[in-house]
Homo-oligomer: A and B are copies of this chain.
Amino acid sequence: MKPVTLKEIAETLGISITTVSKALKDYPDVSKKTKRLVKELAQTLNYKPNAFAVNLRTKESKTIGLIIPEVVHHFFSSVIKGIIAQAEKKGYLVIILQSNESYELEKKQLDLLFSKRVDGVLISLANGTGDFKHLNDLMAQETPLVMFDKIAKIVNCSKVIINDRKAAYTATKYLIDSGCKRIAHFRGPLLPQNSIDRFLGYKQALVDHGFVYDPSLVYILDAMSFDEGNYYAAQLLKDHKDVDGIFINTDLVAIGAINELNKRGVKIPDDISIIGFSNWFMSSVISPTLTTIDQPGYLMGKTAFKLLYKEIKKRKNNQAVVYEEVELPTELIIRESTK
């Protein structure tokens, strides 16, 4: 049973394809009676327009692409949820691709999306991307792009971000204010902007409060996993007996660290205070519960789509597009892992 087409409806009704098409879309130049007939038949035959044909004709796919580094991730899945919820409201479908933090994959996937002629793409960069030609190429071909969370400052497009630097500053300052004297930092990889900014915020807070910045206190992680949290917590204990606070780039790692410290009998927060980043659900559930920075994933997804949608509209109407950079608020969530 093949999908029913306009042609079939037209033939069984003895009218032209044109009229059927117009009847279905309530054109003014088709009679009420014909409209009723057509709509009824379409209904009973369960007619659904072939999106390919429509898109080929109208050049609109009503589909956007989304590239994220990792799907199984509390923050990113919240973002996804925000995006598809908002997209659905506007009649858009979203194709999700996972870059696995690989620049090469990211490039390939962008090509794929272009081939599908998506109306726009939303992207959060892989840790591995230091070159942005693929992004600029896409935009050069009229495909709107908006970046969120892990962005590249140098690329000229709309962005939705948080102020990582400020948030990290706040977190570190809280550690300082609560009496920590020697504060370590588990940072993310070198390339991503947010891991740079969080590091910078940490450093700034230190300097502003009369600490001397000690590079041996910052550990550069790679996978940002629970296991790395375990490993570097142990490492830190070995390297620096005097550390009494850690600001950690992301909650998952922080939870790994807490796990390791618990195991070794280190008292949190009495011996060492810990602050994470992101406010994963898990953070409110482990013991001790984790002080962290709340990062609004759902809102970020929603906002990113809105920006993209606005740009799609503008382009469609041949209006000038202005790139926006919206900064979402973060919040320090104080729990048990700090004094």
Q: Which residues of A approach B to under 8 Å, CB–CB?
A: 1-3, 46, 48-53, 55-56, 61, 63, 71-74, 77-78, 80-81, 84-85, 88, 93-98, 111-112, 114-117, 137, 140-142, 226, 255, 259, 281-282, 285-287
Complex CA gap A98/B48 in Å reads 21
Residues of chain B lying within 8 A (CB to CB) of residue A226: 281, 285
Q: Which of chain B's residues has its CB closest to A75's CB?
A: B72
Contacts beyond the supplied A46-B141, A94-B96: 7 A-B pairs with Cβ under 8 Å = A80-B96, A81-B98, A93-B112, A94-B95, A95-B96, A286-B286, A286-B287
Contacts of A46 in B (CB 8 A): 137, 141
Contact A72 to B78, CB < 8 A, known contacts A56-B50, A142-B2, A282-B282: yes
Asked if B63 contacts A71 (CB within 8 A), the reply is no
Contact flag A51-B1 (CB < 8 Å), given A72-B74, A81-B71: no
The 21 sampled A-B contact pairs (Cβ below 8 Å) are A3-B117, A3-B142, A46-B141, A48-B111, A51-B117, A52-B52, A52-B56, A53-B56, A63-B116, A71-B80, A72-B77, A73-B77, A80-B96, A81-B98, A93-B95, A94-B96, A255-B285, A259-B285, A282-B285, A285-B285, A285-B286
Q: List the B side residues contacting A3 at CB < 8 Å.
A: 114, 117, 141-142
- The listed residue with most B CB atoms (<10 A of its CB), out of A63, A73, A81, A93, is A93
Give A62 Cβ to nearest chain B Cβ, in Å: 9
A118 to chain B, nearest CB (A): 9
CB-defined contacts of A98 to chain B, threshold 8 Å = 81, 84-85
CA of A74 to CA of B74, assembled, Å = 8
